[in-house]
Chains A and B, each alone.
Chain A
């Protein structure tokens, strides 16, 4: 593997260089709230590699919350239809992606592009993308990626991977695109001693995880087994369902949740003009599976909650993602107004096992 070093003071040059060719996205601290958001950087200098984990995953870059996938114009008197697929194809670079968020994006990649049908809209966003990941040398309070095999260091899927070694960053190259960028920046080469230092940093990081991660570690796989085989009692799902506010927040902040709705909306630009919009949807909403005519096979909230945790924790979903659907970012636990973030659901199912 090719490795380089870059001085801390120079690390901004990576985003700067990418800014020539790409729209650059990265973690930035919002001045008013002090919260970190992963967003488009108008000024690449604002990207903060030591910022805490962003409140939002980078999902919206490849899978926008609302997106026009088609526009058409129909004329009922002349019986004509003109259709125009409408995909944005600006190349984008993600700088400072956390390993959990990268794992989430790999889930989406495999889900949208790796099955029988390729999702062309997603493909268009994804094919011209540059990814720079950032190893988590300090975990955050809600993190549990050590339980879901997605951190604290990224293993695959990046073009460049950065690791904070103290005075400098280790730059690992993961693709030809990455190698080309490293060459352009004429970085100093790194050696095995730096790799050993990275391992030390990662080990330190793992040792710093909060109890929730350490306690749950051995249990996630047991719970996955239970959820897959259906050996979770109905009253556990009901207990979980009772705490669901049906707000959809967990699905929107989840790096791997990708359910969407499609609606044709008349466009006021001209008579007979309409846009087909694809928007995020959430399995927690009552209307999610309601059919025309009103029949809803999944009316009780626990049936719908059950579905989300099935997506995150079952082997049959793993076959689509080639890894667990949960990436351990902990955002669902952060936003849930009830108390059913994923780590807690693991705890509830675990309680059933241990009695």
Chain B
């Protein structure tokens, strides 16, 4: 087997690279963040990715799963944030710092950031939908001067379900970054907003002209938010989302992630709502 082909277009394609878990942080119930680095220093130094791309993560003895990349492409510590949903993710949650995992990637198209210059950016995230948007948010804040208004609206079921609490605090005090946080079911000591995330649009004085929106969350929230954005006059080509599918290869061969005429792994995972509408499938 030739070593040359395993890395194609700067991506680890066939054989996973061994990586070490450096640190594990608890986020919310069933969700943890794993800070990782690839052991092979040459490959690690050349490991570049874009906001919105994903990797395939191998848990030795259990299997492999696709997971989005929450860190910004630059000046951010590499990590993945994973919820226990099945056998392989549960095996990952059982690991401890120092343990080895495998990584392939990065795969997928990522957000076309060059097209967003000078525009207002609106992030709408429901629950763990914030994970795939985090990379793009941090990237936008690192280059705040390139964009107009930057807003984030994050809704969760309860205050305990709010993602990236440390980041949220940081972001709330970031100058020029407008953050709105709401929960569906408040606890007695919750002082913030209550209600679904789209109810904050008026309060946020949501921009419509020259604006790009990023929406990620459970299907119910997704449909409501998109409907509300369109009602306010945002066009479907300016609404972005990232799709999630069952994946095995990540490189367009196994076809498990086929949606309409596209494959989420190579044509996605980032789609505009205009594209999503033409796929003709459930989200």
Contacts and interface: CB of A to CB of B under 8 A. Distances in A.
A333 interface: no
B174 interface: no
Interface string B1-39: 110011011010111101010000000000000000000
Contacts of B255: 258-259, 283, 311
A18 to B, nearest CB: 25
B1 A291 contact: no
Contact of A298 (B62, B63, B65, B282): B282
A169 interface: no
Interface of B: 1-2, 5-6, 8-9, 11, 13-16, 18, 20, 58, 60-65, 85-89, 98-100, 102, 244-246, 248-249, 251-259, 261, 266, 280-283
A241 B257 CA distance: 20
A289 B62 contact: no
Given A74-B100, A291-B246, 5 more contacts: A116-B8, A116-B252, A261-B254, A293-B85, A316-B261
A264 B18 CA distance: 16
B248 A264 contact: no
B249 A262 contact: yes
Contacts of B85: 291-293
B8 A79 contact: no
Contacts of B253: 111-112, 117, 119, 258, 260
Given A262-B249, A264-B61, A264-B63, A289 B14 contact: no
A79 B99 contact: yes
A119 B207 CA distance: 45
A239 interface: no
Nearest to A259: B255
B100 A303 contact: no
Nearest to A115: B252
A123 B14 CA distance: 12
A32 interface: no
A64 interface: no
Contacts of B254: 259-262, 281
Interface string A118-162: 111101100000000000000000000000000000000000000
Query: Which residue, A83, A117, A293, has most C-beta atoms of chain B within 10 A?
Result: A117
Contacts of B280: 230
A120 B245 contact: no
Interface string A275-291: 00000010100001111
6 contacts: A116-B251, A117-B9, A272-B60, A272-B61, A274-B61, A310-B261
Nearest to B15: A85
A178 to B, nearest CB: 26
Contacts of A124: 1
Nearest 8 interchain pairs by C-beta: A292-B86, A293-B85, A74-B60, A117-B251, A316-B261, A292-B85, A297-B282, A262-B248
A118 B256 contact: no
B1 A80 contact: no
B245 A117 contact: no
A264 B64 contact: yes
Nearest to B255: A259
Contacts of A259: 254-256
A75 B13 CA distance: 24
Interface in A308-335: 310-311, 314, 316-317
B261 A291 contact: no
Nearest to A263: B63
B248 A260 contact: yes
A303 B281 contact: yes
Contact of B64 (A116, A262, A281, A289): A262
B101 to A, nearest CB: 9
A307 interface: yes
A316 B255 CA distance: 14
Contacts of A87: 1
Given A117-B252, A120-B5, A303-B281, A80 B61 contact: no
Contact of A121 (B2, B14, B64, B86): B14
A81 B100 CA distance: 7
Contacts of B58: 264
A283 B86 CA distance: 21
Contacts of B251: 116-117, 119
A291 B246 CA distance: 5
Query: Which residue, A81, A85, A112, has most C-beta atoms of chain B within 10 A?
Result: A81
Contacts of B62: 264
Query: Which residue, A79, A121, A272, A310, has most C-beta atoms of chain B within 10 A?
Result: A79
A85 B99 contact: no
Contacts of B102: 81, 83
Interface in A38-83: 69-70, 72, 74, 76, 79-81, 83
Contact of B248 (A261, A272, A292): A261
Contacts of B89: 292
A243 interface: no
Query: Which residue, A76, A263, A314, A317, has most C-beta atoms of chain B within 10 A?
Result: A76
A310 B281 CA distance: 13
A312 to B, nearest CB: 13
A81 B18 contact: yes
Contact of A116 (B9, B65, B246, B248): B9
Interface in A189-224: none
A23 interface: no
A225 interface: no
B252 A288 contact: no
Contacts of B100: 74, 79-81
A266 interface: yes
Contact of B60 (A81, A281, A290): A81
Nearest to A111: B253
Given A79-B100, A260-B254, A266 B8 contact: no
A310 B262 CA distance: 12
